[in-house]
């Protein structure tokens, strides 16, 4: 059991270190289907394992500037009360419903990322558009300083609303599904906030840490943990994060996005089929 938990932990650590999420997507099914835990106990164990592993991932990325601290902290703070609500619901649904919801969200997030990657231009920052090809864009002659300030405020309000919505959704699902939320944070940062995937990975790890802490705090009086499983799983996962980061540093953003999406589809499909059979 110890060796099996450690082996699964290494795989999870490589995934979360390289992709900034997906660790919980692997951890919950592994704890349920391989190590025999109930869905509720597995979600609690997963929060601890993923939270600690993500903390190490954040520390590994600090020096390289791979974390957007302002966005990550904002998402995490918004998610605190939502994670508590998700935890309350977690205790009130059956295991099959919990796992089906888990599978559906994983596949939906993957499809959204694949569609976004396919629709994005290959080199949006460097390819010249029509204006660049014919000369500089015309000046905004009618725009006043007041108009520009109003436009900037509108953009700020829209961005803040997006951050609040994403933070609340991810926080709720962290509490409900027992995942750190990275498999939802990375698509949200890339698709909704248009963040480069490399920066999104590091920022996602920070959000995972904050959401895991808040979700664990809401479960504190009702913890059911098998430390013979949790401890070796966590230690191995932490070691795996360093391998994952080395792999991620050698891959392009498009490759990481597609790898993440394929992982989500595969795990979501397996969990969904298993849950339907168990109904």
pLDDT tens digits, one per residue of 140-188:
455 677 777 888 888 888 888 888 888 888 788 777 876 656 667 777 7
Q: How many CA atoms lie within 13 A of 27 on its CB side?
A: 39
Answer yes or no: are the C-beta atoms of 33 and 275 closer than 8 Å: no
Looking at residue 123, its pLDDT comes to: 40
**Locate tokens 């060796």: which residue?**
3
Looking at residue 179, its pLDDT comes to: 63
Mean pLDDT of 224-242: 85
Instruction: For CA atoms 173, 33, 96, 263, give the dihedral sign.
Output: positive
Determine which of 1-15, 106-120, 154-168, 244-258 has the lowest per-residue pLDDT on average: 106-120
Tokens of 26: 């692997």
User: Does 73 or 248 have the greater pLDDT score?
Assistant: 73
Mean pLDDT of 203-210: 85
Looking at residue 205, its pLDDT comes to: 84
Mean pLDDT of 97-107: 82
Residue 274 has pLDDT above 50, yes or no: yes
Mean pLDDT for the chain overall: 76
Rounded Cα gap, residues 168 and 162, in angstroms: 10
Task: Report residue 156 CA to chain centroid gap.
Answer: 23
Rounded Cα gap, residues 254 and 264, in angstroms: 15
What Cα–Cα distance (Å) separates residue 8 from each residue in 19, 49, 92, 176?
Answer: 17, 11, 29, 23
Looking at residue 253, its pLDDT comes to: 65
If phi over 0 gives left and psi between -120 and 50 gives alpha, with beta otherwise, what is residue 221?
Answer: alpha
Residue 266 has pLDDT above 70, yes or no: yes
Rounded Cα gap, residues 253 and 194, in angstroms: 13
Looking at residue 180, its pLDDT comes to: 59
Residue 83 has pLDDT above 70, yes or no: yes
**Locate tokens 């419903």: which residue?**
97
Angle between helices 197-218 and 39-61 (to 10 degrees): 130
Answer yes or no: are the C-beta atoms of 112 and 184 closer than 8 Å: no
Domain boundaries, the chain: 2-119+148-278
Residue 34 has pLDDT above 60, yes or no: yes
Looking at residue 118, its pLDDT comes to: 60
Residue 227 has pLDDT above 70, yes or no: yes
Residue 113 has pLDDT above 60, yes or no: yes
Rounded Cα gap, residues 74 and 71, in angstroms: 5
pTM of the model: 0.69
Confidence of residue 249 (pLDDT cuts 50, 70, 90): confident
* Helical (H) or strand (E) element with 3: helix 2-19
Mean pLDDT of 21-46: 79
User: Does 46 or 278 have the greater pLDDT score?
Assistant: 46
**Locate tokens 């976004």: which residue?**
116
């Amino acid at each position: 059991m110890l060796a099996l938990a450690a082996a699964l932990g290494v795989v999870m650590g490589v995934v979360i270190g390289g992709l900034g999420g997906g660790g919980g997507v692997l951890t919950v099914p592994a704890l349920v289907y391989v190590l025999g835990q109930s869905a509720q106990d597995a979600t609690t164990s997963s929060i601890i394992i993923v939270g600690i592993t993500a903390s190490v991932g954040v520390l590994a990325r600090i020096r390289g500037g791979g974390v957007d601290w302002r966005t990550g902290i904002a998402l995490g703070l918004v998610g605190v009360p939502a994670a508590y609500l998700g935890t309350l619901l977690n205790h009130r649904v059956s295991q099959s419903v919990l796992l089906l919801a888990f599978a559906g969200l994983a596949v939906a997030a993957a499809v959204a990322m694949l569609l976004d990657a396919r629709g994005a231009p290959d080199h949006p920052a460097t390819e010249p558009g029509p204006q660049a090809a014919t000369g500089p864009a015309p000046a905004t002659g009618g725009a006043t300083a007041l108009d520009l300030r109003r436009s900037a405020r509108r953009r700020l309000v829209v961005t803040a609303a997006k951050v609040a919505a994403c933070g609340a959704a991810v926080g709720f699902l962290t509490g409900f599904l027992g995942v750190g939320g990275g498999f939802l944070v990375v698509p949200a940062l890339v698709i909704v906030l248009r963040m480069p995937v490399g920066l999104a990975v590091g920022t996602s790890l920070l959000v995972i840490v904050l959401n895991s802490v808040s979700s664990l705090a809401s479960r504190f009086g009702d913890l059911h943990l098998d430390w013979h499983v949790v401890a070796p799983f966590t230690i191995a996962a932490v070691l795996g994060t360093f391998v994952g980061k080395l792999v991620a540093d050698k891959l392009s953003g498009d490759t990481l996005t597609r790898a993440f999406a394929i992982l989500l589809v595969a795990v979501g499909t397996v969990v969904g089929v298993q849950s339907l059979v168990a109904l």
